[in-house]
Every structure is written in C-alpha cells, then in structure tokens.
Amino acid sequence: MSSGAEGRSTADTSRTPFLPSMNRRQFLLAGASTLLLSACQAAPVPAPAPPVSVPPAAAARYAIGDLLGTTPFYVAHRGSGDNWVEHSFDAYSRSIASGAKAIEVSVSATSDGVFVCHHDLTTKRMTGVDLPIAEVTWEELSQLRSDARAWLGPAAEKEPLPLLADVLDAFATTHVIFLEDKQGTNTEALLKVMDSYSHSTDHFVWKQWAGATQYTLADKHGYTTWGYFTPELFERADELAPRFDLLGVSHRATDAQVAVLVGFGKPVIAWEVHYRSMRDRMSDLGVAGMMCSNLPYVTGTTAGCQGDSFGTGLRAAGDLPWTIDEGTQVQPLIDAGAASVALGHRDVQSYLMGSMCPVGPGSYRITCELRWPGSLPRAEQHAGIAFGAADDRPYRVRAVSDVPGYHMILRANGSLELFSRVAGTTEGTRLKAVLTAPPRASEWVRLQIEVLANSIRILRLDGEGWSMDIDDASYRGGYFWLCKNYQDGPPVEFRSILVS
C-alpha cells in the first residue's frame, strides 16, 4: 500500500570508515553494528528462514543486462505490495515466482546492527506497534508481524519482518535487487555486504534519493546506481541526473517533468505503477522501466478471471480503488463469509474490477447483485456499475474522469438508468430510465448489463423483472467499475460479479 511519497534518506556517509573484513554471514547479521555500536554485544543470531519451494520462474537467472534489455522492464515495488504483504519474504518470493526479474528492497539497521527489510523507519504503519527500528533490537522486531489485511483483504496472512540475510541468500545471485539504505547511515556496511556476493555488480542496483551523495561510494564499488527525483529536484536535474546510471520519476510527475528526465538519454524508471494505464502513459512518454506494485495485473493484457474472488477474503490482482494516494481508507471492505465487497468511503467511490478486465472483445454480459445492508440512502441517491471504458483510468460517477464510458445506476427510489459520459465531464447524459420497485434495506437486487455491437440492454432480474434497450455504440472499452455515487453513508455492497 502506498504511504505517500517515496521515503528518502539524505545522510552523507562518505566519510565513514570501512568495516574490518568479515565473511558474508557476519556482515548480514551484524549489519552496521560497527558503525553504530562500538561497544555493543554481538548481534543475536536469528533462526533461519523456513525452506521455500522454488518455482521455475524463480529458478531462472537474471542480471542487470537481462533486465534492461526488456521493454518495458519491471521491478517489483516492495515485492508488489498491491498483491502481497509489502517487504515480506513472502512478497519477494511470490513476485519472483510470478516472473519478476527484479525486486526492490528497503533496508534499515536495528540498534544491535541487524539489517531488516522494511520501508518505513518505524514499524507503526505496518504492525500497529510504533517502534523506531534504529532504537530497538532484532529480538524485539522479530516478535512483530506486518499486517496488510486492510489493504489486501481479511484473509491476508500477517508476515514477519524479513532479515536482509535471508532475502539476499535467496535471490542475490539469481535476480536483480534494487537496494536502498532507508536510514542513510549504513552505506559502507551495505556495500560490503553486496560485495560479498559473487558477480554482485551484475545483480545489485544502488537505489537512493537523487539529492543525496551516497552514490559516490556505490560508484567506487562498481555498482549501477538509480537516483529517483522528487518534485523539488527537477530544477536541479542538469546537476543531478549525470550522477546516476538510471533515473527515477514518480507516477504523479507531469508530462513535462517526465520529459526532462527522459531527455538525458538514460533509462528512466517510474514508481510506483499500479494500473495498466499508468504503464501505458509512462511508456508513451519514453519511460523504460516500471517499478510496479501490482505486478501480475500490470504485466498482463487479458482478464485473469470471469468471476469475482470476494469469497476468498483476498483482493484479486487488478482490483483496486480509484486512487492509491489515500491508502487503506479507500479500499472497500471484503467480506469472505458473505462473498461480497462493501463501498463505504465518505466520498464518491469506485472500485476497479481489473481482475476481470478487459471484457470482450465483442458482445458480453456483466451480472451483479447489490444491496444497501443497513439503511437506504436518500431516494435520489444511487449506486451501480461504470463500464465501456477503454482503459483503467479512474471512472467515478459525479466526478470528472479522463476516460469516457457508460454508467448504469439504481436509485434508492427504484429508478434504473443508463448514462453515457464524455471525457472531462461530470454528470453525463441520461440515455434511458425505467422505474422499478424500490429496493429494500438488506435485500439483494440482481442487475445485468448486456453489451451488443450496436446496442445495450439493462435488466433488473429480481422481483417482477424489468428491462430497457438502448441503441448506442459510442463506447466499447473493456474496463468496468463498481460505484457508490454519493457522499458519506450508507455503504453499498456488491457480490456475484460475473462476466459472460
């Protein structure tokens, strides 16, 4: 899940003396202890990670040249955190099993010098326990578990914070690792760890905020460097870009900002890429690589399934809220027992069913059930499905969208309506309406959309049954969204989504 802008470290460690010679395992377990604790006790030796089965995709070997030779190339951001618990050994393993040639790994050192993989400098966001990693021991951290259920669904397992030792031993000689010192104080220690692996310069990329100076030491060790640019750095691009082999740009950057970095003629990597439309926009602007949080979906072009996966208690790859910038608060609630998803955000809300997209080509049918589980909204308020969008750019009813399409709505008074909407507008044009029986609180309503070559048929299948036919062929894109189209409550619930 996103926690805002890419965290960055600005500390300059270029004057820190090199550590005395150690073997690889000592480095990985001791980490930066010589730098941080000259008189501390030896770091505790944690239990080894359990054996992990290695699928064929993970058994392949990839070096930096193999990665950069692919267009576009992909790096699993935090281990593809839209799909698995971010920065967990499980996420790294599963992203590699799904075909990732590269993973992004963030690192901090504990108070007793053990390197652990974690994005934030504290454990609050992911574990619920607010511990500054630099101020606690590995023994304390090893008791915590990262909890991504609010983002991934209630069935997501809690995961331990992984040791860098275990991650590198598993993948440092077979895949590409973008490694970042989040604390900014462990540069020399991490570089020596990296040096301890065979062919290390073929597999490690030194990742950092472009305004910091750690790249100088990484250069001396022969490593490829990646500097990512935050908004305030673009005015210094002529100064900073020549320092790095690879350049990084946020998905939030303007077209002009992306063009500035692409203009240096070096491979540019966009972070963090969640949607196929983000991938396409960045590719069109000349970006070569995607640091991707939703790897199985973004790397694909076809629908992964024809029915929803709510009954598993896990969000399917490709299902996402209309924005990732607001974190878990905009993720609908998945109920495995009811095999449903509830949209209850305070704002107008939509939920991409990307796992089932694109539908078509040609004629298709979308069937769903919806209900208001507690109480009904006001008579004129409504929920429904947006469909026919050409790509997965956000489509919210009653909010401006860059992508045109249709939205079918059911009002609390029973009015079933179809709208079309051009890009850049809010309200849309009502094409047809039929008055059906008002829905009742907690009772399911069954709806169906039939899209033919030159027409659309909308049906309500529960009760007496109602239908309407519309002659319109304006939009035949393959992406659709579940929609709550009013401010505040009550929530609306969907289940039994099926494409046929």
Instruction: Tell me if 214 is assigned to some domain.
Output: yes
- How big is the chain by its Cα radius of gyration, in Å? 25
Same domain, 318 and 442: yes
Domain boundary pick from 277, 298, 319: 298
Last residue of a domain, one of 250, 278, 298: 298
What CATH number should be reported for the domain holding residue 443?
2.60.120.560
Contact 336, 316 (CB under 8 A): no
Cα of first residue to Cα of last residue in the chain, in angstroms, is 31
The secondary structure of residue 235, as a DSSP letter, is G
> Are residue 224 and residue 326 in the same domain, yes or no?
no
DSSP for 346-362, written as a single string: SS-EEEEEGGG-S--SS
Q: How many domains does the chain have?
A: 2
Q: Are residue 189 and residue 220 in the same domain, yes or no? A: yes
Distance, CA of 34 to CA of 188 (rounded, Å): 11
Q: Is residue 11 part of a domain?
A: no
Q: Residues 154, 159, 163, CA angle at the centre, nearest 5°?
A: 165
Q: 324 and 258 in one domain? A: no
Q: Does 303 fall in a domain?
A: no
What is the rounded CA–CA span in Å between residue 170 and residue 52? 9
CA–CA distance, 260 with 271 (Å, rounded to integer): 16
Asked whether residue 29 falls in the same domain as residue 177, the answer is yes
Q: 479 and 357 in contact (C-beta within 8 Å)?
A: yes
User: Domain check: are 331 and 431 in the same one?
Assistant: yes
pTM for the predicted model, two decimal places: 0.89
Q: Residue 361: count other Cβ atoms within 10 Å of its Cβ.
A: 9
> Tell me, what's the pLDDT at 43?
33
Cis? peptide before 490, omega within 30° of 0: yes
Q: Which of 298, 323, 338 is the last residue of a domain?
A: 298
Write out pLDDT tens, residues 367-400: 999 999 999 999 999 999 999 999 999 999 999 9
Instruction: Tell me if the bond preceding 272 is cis, omega within 30° of 0.
Output: yes
Q: What are phi and psi of 170, to 5 degrees?
A: -80, -35
Q: In this structure, are 167 and 264 located in the same domain?
A: yes
Give yes or no: residues 157 and 41 share one domain.
yes
User: 473: domain range?
Assistant: 310-499
Give the Cα separation of 293 and 299 in Å (integer). Answer: 11
* CA–CA dist 298, 301 (Å, integer): 8
Phi-psi map region of 78: left, alpha, beta (phi>0 left; psi -120 to 50 alpha): left
- Measure Cα distances from 416 to 105, 380, 431, 466, 474 in Å: 49, 11, 11, 9, 20
Determine, yes or no, domain membership for 403: yes
pLDDT score, position 14: 33
pLDDT in tens, the chain (500 residues): 544 446 565 554 332 322 323 444 444 444 443 333 332 333 333 343 444 454 555 567 999 999 999 999 999 999 999 999 999 999 999 999 999 999 999 999 999 999 999 999 999 999 999 999 999 999 999 999 999 999 999 999 999 999 999 999 999 999 999 999 999 999 999 999 999 999 999 999 999 999 999 999 999 999 999 999 999 999 999 999 999 999 999 999 999 999 999 999 999 999 999 999 999 999 999 999 999 999 999 999 999 999 999 999 999 999 999 999 999 999 999 999 999 999 999 999 999 999 999 998 899 999 999 999 999 999 999 999 999 999 999 999 999 999 999 999 999 999 999 999 999 999 899 999 999 999 999 999 999 999 999 999 999 999 899 999 999 999 999 999 999 999 999 999 999 999 99
- Residue 206 within a domain: yes
Q: How far apart are CA 239 and CA 256, in angstroms?
A: 18
Residues pairing with 299 in the sheet: none
pLDDT digits (tens, 9 = 90+) for 91-142: 999 999 999 999 999 999 999 999 999 999 999 999 999 999 999 999 999 9
| Phi, psi of 188, rounded to the nearest 5 degrees | -65, -40
